[in-house]
Amino acid sequence: MKIDEHKIADLDIYLTRMQRSILDKMFFIDKVFDPFRYVLDFGCANGELIKALQAMCSDYAYVGYDISKEMIETARKNVPNATFYSDWNEIRLPFDQSMINISSTVHEVYAYGSNEDVSLFWDRVLKSGFRYIAIRDMMFSDANDRQADEAALAAVRRHREYAQKLADFEAVNGKIETQKQLVHFLLKYKYTQNWEREVRENYFPLSVEELTARVPQDYRVTFFEHFTLPYTAWQIRKDFGIELKDHTHIKIILEKK
């Protein structure tokens, strides 16, 4: 994956938004019970999640991986008692004694990676033999896609404050006709900083059904939740008077049989 082409305009804003959801990203910690020794945070950014996990669960050894060397250097300073890598091939862990955590990273792999990058990502995640695999990301269900709710779409279209954002979104993603497109926009419209990056990023490159179909036979699903972030639903209700009933995020834990 090439990241220089997709430079984040305001890194501080980007990291702040990530940190606000840290508690939700730690969802797995009370849902895995078979002993393991290591937690590998895939797409660790500046290491804030690892720092928070260390404070709560000091029994594990923590390792962070990110393709951004800049992020890794920041993470090493931020969390000096963890180990960080920007090269996957340098990681030396007993994966059968490890959990890999992948939070808000799947959609970015699809957005900025080639088909080969996507295949390599899933090979690393699903074929390395991890004891546990925890995934949290934005994801829509094929079963819930339909024609866009007319009242909700009308409310969005008549809101002048976000008219330019809507025009930008439709220029990139096409005119909103389906509920999936509408929800996709509703997850983006509040972005101001880094908007040029966000408007082009596909938040729903993979459906819930496509993800679950990828689960190998030697893993079992031990936890599954398809949900909407409360803050997101509140913000949309506040701005548009819309009750967002469609689920926008997924949490799933896979355990090696």
The strand pair at 38-42 and 98-103 is best described as parallel
Q: What confidence score (pLDDT) does residue 192 get?
A: 83
Q: Is 175 left (phi over 0), alpha (psi -120 to 50) or beta?
A: beta
Cβ contact 46:15 at 8 Å: yes
Q: What confidence score (pLDDT) does residue 22 get?
A: 82
Q: Where are the domains of the chain?
A: 4-139+203-228+249-256
Cβ contact 250:225 at 8 Å: yes
Ramachandran angles phi, psi of 226, nearest 5°: -110, 120
Cβ contact 27:251 at 8 Å: yes
Q: Would you say the C-alpha torsion 240, 158, 17, 201 has a positive or negative sign?
A: positive
Cβ-proximal residues to 50 (8 Å cutoff; 6+ apart), any chain? 39, 41, 44, 62, 64, 75, 79, 82
Q: What confidence score (pLDDT) does residue 235 get?
A: 94
Q: What would be the CATH architecture of the domain defined by 4-139+203-228+249-256?
A: 3-Layer(aba) Sandwich (3.40)
CA distances in angstroms from 239 to 152, 186, 231, 244, listed in the order given: 12, 10, 12, 12
Tens of pLDDT, residue by residue, the chain (257 residues): 544 444 444 444 444 455 557 888 999 999 998 889 999 999 999 999 999 999 999 999 999 999 999 999 999 999 999 999 999 999 999 999 999 999 999 999 999 999 999 999 999 999 999 999 999 999 999 999 999 999 999 999 999 999 999 999 999 999 999 999 999 999 999 998 889 989 999 999 999 999 999 999 999 999 999 999 998 999 999 999 999 999 999 999 999 99
Ramachandran angles phi, psi of 88, nearest 5°: -55, -40
Q: What confidence score (pLDDT) does residue 21 get?
A: 74
